Structure 1
Amino acid sequence: MDARTPRLMRSLAERVPATDTLYRTKLIEQAAKLEDVIAMGLGDPDLPTPPHVVEAARDAIARGETRYTHPAGMPKLRQAIADLLRQEYGLHYSAEETIVTAGTQEGVMLLMLALVDPGDEVLLPSPRFTSYDTAVELCGGKVVSVPTYQKDEFALLPSEIEARITPRTKMLVLITPNNPTGAVTPPNAIREIAEIAKRHDIIVVSDEIYAKLLFDDAEHLSIGTLPGMRERTITMNGFSKSHAMTGWRIGYLAAPQPFIQRMVEPRHTLSINAATPSQWAALAAATGPQSVVKDMLDIYESRRDVLLKGLDELGFTYGRPAGAFYVYVNIEASGVPATQFCNDLLREARVLVSPGMLFADPDDRYVRMSLLQPKARIEEALGRIMEARRRLFRG
């Protein structure tokens, strides 16, 4: 930078990445200028937060529950989280071995601050939610991508992990079900990954935020339940996706108590505590009827069936999602790169989807479509794509 560069920009610390967000921004700005755009690339549930959860927050505010809590979270909520982890996933943690964060996003940053030293390598599946990249790089670490493949339904392969381990490898981030692919890494592979982690003395961050959203009898295995893994695993989860609570900003971490205890002060520094009314809402989510999650899952599954049928008719392929609420679509049949396809699709059909480049995927053949529109709107989006096919497709 020279003297003509604005003073603040010249003062940026080297750790702040110069990430080019121009493409994402332009796509959103373009969509804002159009009428009746169907957003098919979002990750924010369109279904309402369950009424008993909303009511719990409303009651908490009415009672004056608006002050700070302990930085690690309300004791009642931490105990409810420990109970939920045991009942749902077979993970045995005490309340003191949990910590409540302002969404799992804050949990990601907290963990990278705690674990990543300059030069450490962190294994991340590709494609992926790229906030991990930013957090690792802000801490001076190096991201090492572990590719996944459509032929394997984008499930993480143990052999691909082990092939990328070096003396600098400190951590593997295991994300299952995955965003943006909806892939669920099967239990046998999870067991192999656990053996790799032990053999190479690697920490595992197990991101299980979508673990309650499973299709087709898919099975989720929490790696922290396996022999020898409890002491080297941090389990991360929350209520954003399972209970349609993205804006409430409640996530949590679970790990052995000495580690959690060391997280309390850094967590306090980041935001003191997760919003108090939101913690009461999360308590209701954790202890209330879990049938609400099944009801949402049934809706997502019916939407998935509609979307997959339409994609088949368009000649697009995909990894069949076994979890979450995304479909990672191979649009190679269109004859254009994914980034161009997204621009053309928005202009010609007023349908907004996200290219794989936004998920650290170097293969410009994929887009993420989500199940977060009513079935009628998904059908309409597919119809628009079909109608615009001649203008969109090349060759």
Structure 2
Amino acid sequence: MANSLLLDRLAPRIVEEDGAFRTRMLNIAAGRDDVIALGRGDPDFHTPAHIVEAAKSALDDNQHHYTGPTGMAPLRQAISDRLRADYGLSYTADEIIVTAGVQESIMLCMLGLVRPGDEVLVTSPRFTTYDTAVHLCGGIPIPVPTYQKDDFALDVGEIEARISDRTRMFVLVSPNNPTGAVTPPEVIRKIADLAVKHDILLIADEIYARLIYPPHEHLSIATLPGLKDRTITLNGFSKTYAMTGWRVGYMAAPADFVEALTEPRHTLSINTCTISQHAALAALTGPQDEIETMFTAYGDRRAYLMAALTEAGLSYGAPGGAFYIYTNISATGMTAKPFCEALLRDTGVMVFPGDMFGEPDSDFIRISYLQPLPLIEEAMGRIKGFIDAHKGAAA
């Protein structure tokens, strides 16, 4: 079949992405009624009730009209207060833009900073939305590899080796997706020195920063002397508050930069859903006990999975944060895509291959522990059975 006229005239900024494998997996899952989904990064918990009630009250009170492009003033102030209390970050309400999830913050940052031909260094394996956003702005994403032997924590030498005269910025994601790796404070300080030395900008994606397991520690790079002026801090509500579908994120940056991006942000979506902004305000200012309950559950699931994967003969980088375990399945003799597809067909367990995180022909899969522990235990039983059957067939 010939291409449509529109497809033939597609702008070169649209880089073709292979969605065939994801679609195939979803089609397989749709044909089964016993699927245990350990793939998506979508918390299984309900959004806490007081957050939902705040949204309902906003609807009842006719609070569903436009807000300013940067977001409701009380919400921006609450974000400012939370950033200071949790991370020691000093941003005023005028230095914050509320966006439709961190996804929109990422796009807004790239629109504001990336010029054609600019190189953007990105922690890898990675959340490939960064690649797409950089491509859309005419830039070139440059992966900075991390390794299982280091629990996928960043190595400053790997960053510096990839800096060129075209490097515009480095994207620091800690804890990282898909590995759960936390970059230690001493490495964060070295990255800060590197940014100053080479005069590069920084994006600090801290969406998982409240999901860090002891003894790991988080350090917000914009708190370091002289770094706030070259850093954009990203965060949001999806992961911590189980609010993925509410689509509320934010970026924090110096006020003059925020002012410059206000009209582009207005052009993208006018404002973040007003109802969701009221919910986000309740999330920040209301009780936090359910957040602690979720975090405790994630910790229990993490501990179980690490032990169960080891028992199954699979290795991994020990995750310091988030809710993923990036697992090496090379011991099975399979690469990630065939492993994931066969596992889903044979057992109904869905996990995602490292190929979806910028690693073609990967030996790794991402397992998210976002199901109740009994279901995770059931899934691990199926995975062990699958591995044993595969080894038996190969013998």
TM-score range, shorter chain: over 0.9
Letter of the 1:100 partner, please give it. Answer: V
1:135 to 122, 133, 136: 133
**Match for residue 365 of structure 2?**
367
Count of residue pairs brought into register by the alignment: 393
**Match for residue 389 of structure 2?**
391
Letter of the 1:170 partner, please give it. Answer: R
Contact 1:345 1:392 in 2 (8 A): no
**Match for residue 299 of structure 1?**
297
**Match for residue 288 of structure 2?**
290
**Match for residue 317 of structure 2?**
319
Distance in 2 of aligned mates of 1:150 and 1:201 = 30
Farther off after superposition, 30-39 or 260-269: 30-39
Q: What is the SS of the residue equivalent to 1:306?
A: helix
Q: What is the SS of the residue equivalent to 2:240?
A: coil
Q: CA deviation at 1:390?
A: 3.3
Letter of the 1:197 partner, please give it. Answer: A
Letter of the 2:41 partner, please give it. Answer: G
**Match for residue 36 of structure 2?**
38
**Match for residue 18 of structure 1?**
16
- Within 5 Å, give how 1:48-87 maps onto structure 2: 48-87=46-85
1:199 to 193, 197, 200: 197
**Match for residue 167 of structure 2?**
169
CA 1:363–1:183 in 2, change beyond 3 Å: closer, same or farther?
A: farther
Q: CA deviation at 1:363?
A: 5.4
Q: What is the SS of the residue equivalent to 2:144?
A: strand
Letter of the 2:53 partner, please give it. Answer: E
1:274 maps to 2:272 = yes
Distance in 1 of aligned mates of 2:361 and 2:29 = 24
Letter of the 1:166 partner, please give it. Answer: S
Distance in 2 of aligned mates of 1:224 and 1:8 = 44
Distance in 2 of aligned mates of 1:220 and 1:15 = 36
Q: CA deviation at 1:154?
A: 0.3
- Within 5 Å, give how 1:233-244 maps onto structure 2: 233-244=231-242
Q: What is the SS of the residue equivalent to 1:57?
A: helix
Contact 1:341 1:392 in 2 (8 A): no
**Match for residue 345 of structure 1?**
343
**Match for residue 263 of structure 2?**
265
**Match for residue 117 of structure 1?**
115
Q: What is the SS of the residue equivalent to 1:315?
A: coil
**Match for residue 151 of structure 2?**
153
Distance in 1 of aligned mates of 2:134 and 2:169 = 11
Q: CA deviation at 1:291?
A: 2.7
CA 1:189–1:363 in 2, change beyond 3 Å: closer, same or farther?
A: farther
**Match for residue 25 of structure 2?**
27
Q: CA deviation at 1:371?
A: 0.8
Q: What is the SS of the residue equivalent to 2:123?
A: strand
Unpaired runs of 5+ residues, structure 2, are none
Contact 2:337 2:361 in 1 (8 A): no
Contact 1:103 1:251 in 2 (8 A): yes
Contact 2:80 2:92 in 1 (8 A): yes
Listed one character per residue, the Cα deviations across residues 216-259 of structure 1 (whole Å, up to 9, x for unaligned) are: 22110000000110100000000110000000000001011000
Contact 1:212 1:293 in 2 (8 A): no
TM-score by length of 2: 0.98
Letter of the 2:372 partner, please give it. Answer: P
2:379 to 378, 381, 391: 381
Distance in 2 of aligned mates of 1:60 and 1:43 = 28
**Match for residue 219 of structure 1?**
217
Q: CA deviation at 1:364?
A: 1.4
Letter of the 2:262 partner, please give it. Answer: V
Q: What is the SS of the residue equivalent to 2:121?
A: strand
Q: What is the SS of the residue equivalent to 1:144?
A: strand
Q: CA deviation at 1:361?
A: 1.6
**Among the aligned pairs, what percent are the same residue?**
56
Farther off after superposition, 170-179 or 32-41: 32-41
Unpaired runs of 5+ residues, structure 1, are none
Q: CA deviation at 1:290?
A: 2.4
Query: In angstroms, what is the RMSD of aligned CA positions?
Result: 1.1
Q: What is the SS of the residue equivalent to 1:388?
A: helix
Q: What is the SS of the residue equivalent to 2:382?
A: helix
Q: What is the SS of the residue equivalent to 1:171?
A: strand
CA 1:367–1:215 in 2, change beyond 3 Å: closer, same or farther?
A: same
Contact 2:179 2:317 in 1 (8 A): yes
Q: What is the SS of the residue equivalent to 1:99?
A: strand
1:229 maps to 2:239 = no
Contact 1:344 1:392 in 2 (8 A): no
Listed one character per residue, the Cα deviations across residues 68-105 of structure 1 (whole Å, up to 9, x for unaligned) are: 00010000001111111101000001100011000000
Contact 2:335 2:361 in 1 (8 A): no
Q: What is the SS of the residue equivalent to 2:105?
A: helix
Letter of the 2:305 partner, please give it. Answer: L
Distance in 2 of aligned mates of 1:70 and 1:380 = 48
**Match for residue 104 of structure 1?**
102
Distance in 2 of aligned mates of 1:386 and 1:154 = 25
Q: CA deviation at 1:141?
A: 0.2
